[in-house]
Amino acid sequence: MNQKTICVYTCNRSEYSRLKSVMKAIEAQPGLALRIVVGGSQLLERYGMTVNDIENDQFVINEKIHNVVEGSTPAAMAKSAGLAIIELTTCFSRIQPDVLLVVGDRYDMLPAVVAASYLNIPIAHIQGGEKTGSIDESIRHVVTKFAHLHFPATEQSKDLIIKMDEKPHRVFVTGCPSIDTILRITPTDRKVLFETPPIPSKLGARSPSADQDYILLIQHPNTTEYDQCYDQMIATLTAIHRIRLQTLLIYPNLDAGSDSMVAAIRRFMMKYECDYLFCFKHVPMETFINLLRYASCIVGNSSSGIRESCYFGIPCVNIGTRQKNREHGSNVINTGHDSEEIYQAIKKQLEIKRYPVEYVYGDGNAGTLIADILSQSDIKIQK
């Protein structure tokens, strides 16, 4: 039996969480063969060496590329993308996949689709058609125009893809694959959760307490506001400091501005008594979802606050423009980067405590649907 080879490229921690269920479904599909290429921040120790999560999930990684240029600046991002095109062209030439499968809107995705397109490799795209702020929206729509198969998470996203002149019979609403994973993660007892690495995290002799309520804080750079990232992080921390509820902070991703955000976090902690604040480079997906499950509120601009939190009814304070216009549940309050506005929003959300559960991004079967469609589709390179 001839198998169709599907190559998956993953280069950061958030995107792997959206690919995991699809990768498992591809492996389980007799007509498909999975090949995996890993690059970007997945291979960097300062971002938690998250490639270990992929290997711990028993996936075989076929290729690794080192393409990240140090600097945390827009120029470094552009050079990293250029280097990735060169490295991925070599990888795809060796693997010779029938389809390249990519997800989302990260700047790291653009090199993959450029390399595959020039090699005449058809492209399947997960999570197209969504509206957000920052350069991510531009990249997402560019990837849509490169792609031959589309797997949007919602009907609204499907409609936008079709308005971009993509053929309706190539657009399939599947839901978001990350929902597959979160709905299948077994709830962990709260005390057990905090006894399991990386909880607690040792900052001196301090460790977070399972007996206290907590805020989950995840704020990434918005690269179109690169020169404002330091002040934006300070504004959020100032609001959190007024609340003084135990806070678990996950460090920002590697986008331009991340170094200044980390500097803001460290200087703020040195200036003020922040015995309520605990910082982590990375938290594995299963641990993160259980932390989200028990959180009093998720704060910042991570897509987790938009996509995953509504499945647990967790209050979310979404800050700034990074997730602007993205579909979300009733559990989200949007704010600007004003510390008073952020403080009032967090205070309100902590009083509400829980919202009704909403299934905004699918019902947890996206991976199987995507694998089935990939196995049945006859994709022509000429669109």
Confidence grade of residue 1 (pLDDT, cut at 50, 70, 90): low
Place 104 in a pLDDT band, splitting at 50, 70 and 90.
Answer: confident
Structure-token pair, residue 358: 């909403």
Domains of the chain, each with CATH number or no CATH? 4-176+362-376 (3.40.50.2000), 186-352 (3.40.50.2000)
Residue 247's φ and ψ, nearest 5 degrees, are: -130, 130
Nearest to 193 by CA among 316, 284, 277: 284
DSSP one-letter string for 303-314: HHHHHTGGGTT-
Phi-psi region at 198: left, alpha or beta (left = phi > 0; alpha = psi -120 to 50): alpha
**So what's the pLDDT on residue 47?**
82
What does 328-369 look like in DSSP terms, one character per residue? Answer: --TTEEEE-S-HHHHHHHHHHHHHH-------TT-SS-HHHH
Q: Give the Cα separation of 150 and 134 in Å (integer).
A: 22
For residue range 138-181, list pLDDT tens digits in order: 999 999 999 999 999 999 999 999 999 999 999 999 999 999 99
Secondary structure E strands in 147-286: 149-151, 215-218, 247-250, 277-280
Confidence of residue 284 (pLDDT cuts 50, 70, 90): confident
d(CA 236, CA 240): 6
Dihedral angle at the C-alpha atoms of 303, 319, 197, 209, nearest 10 degrees? -140
For 57, 147, 300, 380, the CA distances from 163, given in Å and listed in that order, are: 38, 15, 31, 21
Cβ atoms of residues 123 and 146 within 8 Å: yes
Share of the chain above pLDDT 70, in %: 97
In this predicted model, what pLDDT tens digit does every residue of 35-83 receive, in sequence order?
Answer: 999 999 999 988 889 899 999 999 999 999 999 998 888 899 899 999 9
| CA separation for the pair 58, 52 (Å, rounded) | 10
Chain mean position to CA 104: 8
Q: CB count, 10 Å around CB of 197?
A: 9
